[in-house]
Structure formats: structure tokens, C-alpha cells
Chain A
Amino acid sequence: MTVSDDRNTLIRGARVLGAEAQDVLIEGGTIAAVGPGLSAPDAVVVEADGQILLPGLVDLHTHLREPGREDSETVLTGTRAAAAGGFTAVHAMANTFPVADTAGVVEQVWRLGRESGYCDVQPVGAVTVGLEGRKLAELGAMHDSAAGVRIFSDDGKCVDDAVIMRRALEYVKAFDGVIAQHAQEPRLTEGAQMNEGVVSAELGLGGWPAVAEESVIARDVLLAAHVGSRVHICHVSTAGSVEIVRWAKSKGWNVTAEVTPHHLLLTDELVRSYDPVYKVNPPLRTEADVTALREGLADGTIDCVATDHAPHPHEDKDCEWGAAAMGMVGLETALSVVQHTMVETGLLDWAQVADRMSFRPAAIGRLGHQGRPVSTGEPANLTLVDPAYRGVVNPVGFASRSRNTPYEGRELPGRVTHTFLRGRATVVDGKLA
């Protein structure tokens, strides 16, 4: 480790948010100076010629699996994966065992995050008891706990009862909370295995129609407008969903949305292999959906990228499609996929990447100390990226405990060389500190 906790750091020649090269001096957890030709004799120097300096990335949608499924991920391994991917804050989803539907569980996750030290862990609380969609969980108690929960989600399951959804949207207004909806109409997706369309018809796999997502989003933006609440839509995956969110925003309604890296790149054609590494919820869609999602992220209809990092043990993917678990790991490849799909296609510049992967998600989650500008006096949560790097994804090197990446063997651009959490390096020269 070349960067120790008690020494200052001078990042030299980094293109801050992709702009002109600058020097950035970090002192004791804070950005002390930004400008050309800085000198700091005692500081550890990071030569960042040609690299991009971003605010530390913030993930709104991470499955850390602890408590309950420590065989697939723990808070420690998950936050190490997050740091390796350039993240300084992640939101831990509530579908653990036990479910994070009480102050006790969210505080446990929050405490494990503090102990890990690799990345801030902001727990997400369940909307309903046991994610069962029937009875509101103690949302206020979770908010008032040490974890200070602001985002509530039954992710993995949809809050499909319109009245429960309405009440949840209304109730969390008291403490500026937001409901993050996993939009999946349950009846339309009984036995669903993949996107419903040309490929599912051929493969004979149960179809997951786009309308099952879109109809719930349409209902929820209308509900949010009616009760004057904000609503966040998790992992938008269809062209129709983008249109509905765009329409809702045009009305001035308080709607935000996220897209996963894999929905920006992969399509249901990959399912033809029947390889469960491509089995995910929501499912991979079509090329037309991918195009619409990229456009939506570019024009701001979709606010942010969220990984939906979903680790699973090997045996849950090394099986037949129908028996396999849904989900993909994503923390360690997210920025590369965004560079590949959005930056190198000219759809986003690096300042907009900072917006979609740091500023906006931090604002949605109301994380005051994350997603801040790279300027003097701000907390030193920073990510340094080498955009010229090209490498083939090899999950053997992952910090995550799980290996279920759909990108194995694929060449992707960009590499996180350094990550700083409040001035302390969690990644140095591409390796966990």
C-alpha cells in the first residue's frame, strides 16, 4: 500500500470530470485544493496523466446478501467489490434473510458497512413486512434508526397492491423518503423466464411481457402525482417504460428512474445459449429496448445507472435455465459498461457520467456527503479512471464472492485505478488497498 491513512494525497494531471488536466490535493478526508501545478511536499503523489477524475460512484441498487446468504456475498466482500468498481456508496437492498423490514436489521447492515471501511453502505428498507406486499413495515422506525433509511423497496417483488403502494408513497413524505418500485405485474409474469417476444416463442421459455413492467410504472407515476409524492422506478428495461417516465417528467411529476449496465448492453438473443448467466430480473430485452434505454439515459429521462449487483453461488447458475437464480454481479464492471455503451458511442461525456453515476443517485438517496462536486472543501470521495485501458473480463479476479458475470471473456474499456473514500484510498493502482 503506497497511500497511507495519515498522509495527504496529491493527484497530478487528472482530467476532472473529463475536462482540462488539474491537480487535486486531498487533506484529511477533504479536497483541499484543485488547480494546476499544485505542490505538496509531504503528500503521496498519484500520477494521473490521461486519467479521468470522477466523484465517487453511488449505487442505488446493490444486493449485499448479508444477513442470510453469506455464501454469495457479505457486506465486506460486496463493499470491496464496490470499491474496486469505483463506488464510494452503495444502497443495500432489503431482500435479505431476515428481510430488512425492521430497524434492527437495517442497523445491522449499516453497522457492517461502517466496519468494512471500503464504501458507505446505506441500507434500503422493505416497504412491506417480509416483502409480502400486504402490511407496511415500520418505515418510520427504519428512518429514525441509526441507518437513517430514506429509500424503501420490496425489490425482487413488486408492491402490486395499488392501495398499499398509495399508502407507502404518502406515508414516507413525512420524512422525505421515496419508494423504489420493482415494477412487475405478478399475474402477467407467472412462470416468466425471459422477455416475451420472438426469442421466447422459439425457445419455449415462459414470456415476461414488457407490459407487465410498463403497466405498473404507469399506475405508479399516476399514483405519485395524485398524492404528491416522489417515486423511483428500479431497473427500467423497456422502451415503453422510458416513454412513460418521459411523459411523467413532462408533467412535472416527481419521478426518477434507474437503468442497469446490463440492460444498456445485452439483449435476449443471448438466452439462445440457455446459459443461466443471462437469467435476470427484469429480463434482458431487445435491441430496440437497449437503444431506447441509452437514449433515455442520455437525455436525462432515466436519472441514473444502478447496478442491481445480484451475486449468486456457482451452483445456482451451473444448472438448467428453469432451476437457476435470477441476477448478475455488476459492481466491478458497471463503469466499463457505461464507458463502452454511453461514452464511446458519444451519448454521454464524462461530466454526464458523473451526473448519472454519482450526483443524481446521491440526490435521489439524499446522501448529503456523497455525489458532491470535485472542488475545494468537498468530501474527498473520488474515483480515478483510466479510459484508455482495454481488458478482457475475468471473474477469477473479482473482489465479489460470486462470479456470475455475463461479461466473462468480453473485452471492455476502462479501469478504476484509484478510489478514495473520505480521502482514504480503498483502491490503489487497480488493486484493493
Chain B
Amino acid sequence: MKRHLISAADLTRDDAVLILDTAEEMARVADRPIKKLPTLRGRTVVNLFFEDSTRTRISFEAAAKRLSADVINFSAKGSSVSKGESLKDTALTLEAMGADAVVIRHHDSGAPHRLATSGWIGGSVVNAGDGTHEHPTQALLDAFTMRRHLAGAPDGGPTRHGEPGDSSGRDLAGRRITVVGDILHSRVARSNVHLLTTLGAEVTLVAPPTLVPVGAGNWPCEISYDLDAVLPKSDAVMMLRVQRERMNAAFFPTEREYARRYGLDADRMARMPGHAIVMHPGPMNRGMEITAEVADSERCTAVEQVANGVSIRMAVLYLLLGGNEPAVGAPIARTEESK
């Protein structure tokens, strides 16, 4: 495993499968009465958030705490950062306090890359979302969710809705994944294209042409403007949040037109194959990119994705900071026996 997690593009297939398999082990811990491992006892994880993101921050916080790490939450708002302190000085401060890992969310694309390569800090850097660039742990939890549903049956095939299975060791070879929405501004889409392709999936991006970046033609995926044409060929459909502000920048004429052309409703969902799942990274705009009926259906994995996020982040922190010992193994058993 590498020292940092900056981009999903940095992960090989084996890296990715190792993280997903480790997350499966972590998920089993969540089923225990005591959801805590001593693995990172004495280590310090800093959540350095320059952007508000309660969901991602608490997910990382829960993950670190379940591994017994000490967690420091550093929010840019109300701190020295809002008084003009540079990223560099903030980093030097965290370094001086002995941070073993810095989980960074930043509004500028590339900020985690700078943090990891500038020599400002010695610990591991985990990208928790940078500008419109990447969000690799989101892609990992998405792949984890897909793998459980689409490769979780004993024969490696799809499971019944609502019954994800253990798919350890497998990848997503041949699975057809459709990502719908604001690709231009989406760090989730970029990370997913990299990771899902690495895992062998075939990715199709669907959006109005205004929300597809110029230059995306080089990405290892298909691009379509026609959602209805793609749905019958999709094993999973991931709906991205579309910010209502985009309407004012003329990316599309009205919210209603967007919902009509690119929103997922029950009729459209019925055109998906029977085993196909609906995904959403949250937070959802019900009525915009997804109707309430679809969001609340058993095919929608949005809530499951949140739970899986904790397992994935535990796996990432463990693999970056921990080491070569099994994450969930004998030491835990002894701990429990000694009680």
C-alpha cells in the first residue's frame, strides 16, 4: 500500500481489491456488540476540513475512532485559516502536533496533492474531496457497494435486492456502470471513472453536454446524452447531486427540464435490468435528479453506501497507517478473551 491516498488513479487493481477486502473485514466488526479495534491506538488522525462536509467528516471520524486512533477535527471556519493562515502554515502546525494522518477536504483541486508532495508534513495524506478533482474514498465505497450487490452471490453474480453478499477477492469485471449528472463539477465521477475502470467495469457517463468537461473524450469510458438509451444496459446507475445554482449559470434551462431529461423516476427505473441497483453519494435532491419513489425503493443503496463508507475509511486508514498485520485477527480475539 502507498503512503497517501490522493487519487483513485494511483490504485492498481490489487490495491483496490485489497482495500475492498479489508473493508469487508471491517464491516464484520460493525456487526459486533463492541465496534472497536485497537489497531491504531496511540496514532493521531487529523480531519482537516476547508469545506463544510458533515457527512464525510463524521464518516472519517467514526472510522478512525473504531480503530482507536485519536481524532482531531480541524475546521477551517472559525480557525486561523479564516484569518488568512496559509495551507502551508496549517500543515506545519499539524506536523508539529504529531499528526500521523491528515484527512483533507479542500475547495481547491490539487490541494491534497500539494500537501503530500510539498514536504510540509511527514504523515499520510488522505484526500477527502478536492475541488472538482477527486474523492477517492467515495469511489471506493461505491465500488464496495457495487461489488456486494453485483458480485455477491456465491457464483459471483448479482444478489437479490436488499441482500448484499460477501464478494471478497472479486473485482467488477464486465459490470456496466452508468453515472448520471453533473460530471463537470463532480469529484465523485472522476474518481469513479478511474477506480471502476481499474476494477474492470465498463463506465458510461450521462449528462447534458454542458455538464461534460471539454477533454473528457479521452477518459476510459463512454459518454452519452441519452439516459433512456443507457438504462437497459446498466447493472448500476449512480445519480449525482445537481446543485440548483447551476441553473443560473445556464448549464440547463430549468430544474424541471433537467428532471425530465436526466432525472431517475419509477418509469425509468423499470427499464433497468431486474438485478440493477440505484446509487447516490448523497445528499440527494429529491425531485431533481431522483424521485422520492426511487430514492426509497429497495433498489436504492444510498443509506447502505453511508454505512459502507465507514468500513472503507477504516480500511484505508488501517492500510496507510497500520501495517502488515491482519486488521481483524488474533489480537482482537485476545482482547475479547481478556475481558
| Interface set of A (CB-CB < 8 Å, partner B) | 193, 196-207, 209, 273-275, 315, 318-323
Contacts and interface: CB of A to CB of B under 8 A. Distances in A.
Contacts of A273: 113, 117
B109 interface: yes
Interface string B191-214: 000000000000000000000011
A320 B114 contact: yes
Size class of the contact patch on chain B: 20 to 34
A320 B214 contact: no
Contact of B109 (A204, A315, A318): A204
B214 A196 contact: yes
A207 B108 contact: no
Q: In the complex, which of the residues B87, B109, B118 has the most CB atoms of chain A within 10 Å of its own CB atom?
A: B109
A321 B215 contact: no
B271 to A, nearest CB: 29
B111 A322 contact: yes
30 contacts: A193-B109, A201-B213, A201-B214, A201-B215, A201-B216, A201-B218, A202-B215, A203-B110, A204-B109, A204-B131, A204-B132, A204-B190, A205-B109, A205-B110, A205-B133, A207-B213, A274-B109, A274-B110, A274-B113, A275-B114, A315-B86, A318-B88, A319-B87, A320-B87, A320-B114, A321-B109, A321-B114, A322-B108, A322-B110, A323-B108
Given A196-B214, A197-B214, A274-B113, 13 more contacts: A193-B109, A198-B217, A200-B214, A201-B213, A201-B216, A204-B109, A204-B131, A273-B117, A274-B110, A274-B114, A319-B114, A321-B114, A322-B110
B219 interface: yes
B106 interface: yes
Nearest to B218: A198
B86 A319 contact: yes
A203 B111 CA distance: 11
Contacts of B215: 196-202, 207
B142 interface: no
Q: Which 10 A-B pairs have the closest CB atoms?
A: A204-B133, A201-B215, A322-B108, A274-B110, A204-B132, A201-B213, A204-B109, A198-B215, A320-B111, A197-B215
A320 B110 contact: yes
B187 interface: yes
Contacts of A320: 87, 106, 108, 110-111, 114
Q: In the complex, which of the residues A206, A274, A321 has the most CB atoms of chain B within 10 Å of its own CB atom?
A: A274
A209 B214 CA distance: 9
A322 B190 contact: no
Given A274-B114, A322-B107, A323-B108, A204 B187 contact: yes
Nearest to B216: A201
A275 B218 CA distance: 23
A199 B218 CA distance: 9
Contacts of B109: 193, 203-205, 274, 321-322
A197 B86 CA distance: 29
B100 interface: no
Contacts of B219: 201-202
Interface of B: 86-88, 106-111, 113-114, 117-118, 130-134, 187, 190, 213-219
A92 B133 CA distance: 37
A203 B133 contact: yes
Contacts of B108: 320-323
Contacts of B214: 196-197, 200-201, 207, 209
B219 to A, nearest CB: 7
Nearest to B9: A202
Given A274-B113, A320-B110, A200 B213 contact: yes
Contacts of A200: 213-215
A207 B215 CA distance: 10
Contacts of A202: 190, 215, 218-219
A321 B217 CA distance: 25
Nearest to A197: B215
B218 A204 contact: no
Contacts of B110: 203, 205, 274, 320-322
A202 B133 CA distance: 7
A426 B87 CA distance: 41
A428 B297 CA distance: 80
A274 B87 CA distance: 14
Given A201-B216, A201-B218, A201-B219, A319 B134 contact: no
A196 B213 CA distance: 9
B4 to A, nearest CB: 13
B193 to A, nearest CB: 10
A204 B134 contact: yes
Contacts of B218: 198, 201-202
Nearest to A315: B86
Contacts of B131: 204-205, 322
A274 B134 CA distance: 14
Contacts of B132: 204-206
Contacts of B87: 319-320, 323
A204 B111 CA distance: 12
A248 B111 CA distance: 42
B120 to A, nearest CB: 9
Contacts of B106: 320
B251 to A, nearest CB: 13
Contacts of B117: 273-274
A101 B273 CA distance: 67
Contacts of A275: 114
Contacts of B190: 202, 204
A205 B219 CA distance: 16
Contacts of B113: 273-274
A204 B86 CA distance: 22
Contacts of A199: 215
A318 B91 CA distance: 12
Contacts of A196: 214-215
A323 B187 CA distance: 19
Contacts of A197: 214-215
A293 B217 CA distance: 25
A82 B217 CA distance: 43
A205 B133 CA distance: 7
A359 to B, nearest CB: 39
A282 B187 CA distance: 25
Contacts of B107: 322
A203 to B, nearest CB: 6
Contacts of A206: 132
A202 B131 CA distance: 12
A207 B134 CA distance: 16
B275 to A, nearest CB: 32
Contacts of A203: 109-110, 133
Contacts of A201: 213-216, 218-219
B183 to A, nearest CB: 9
A319 B216 contact: no
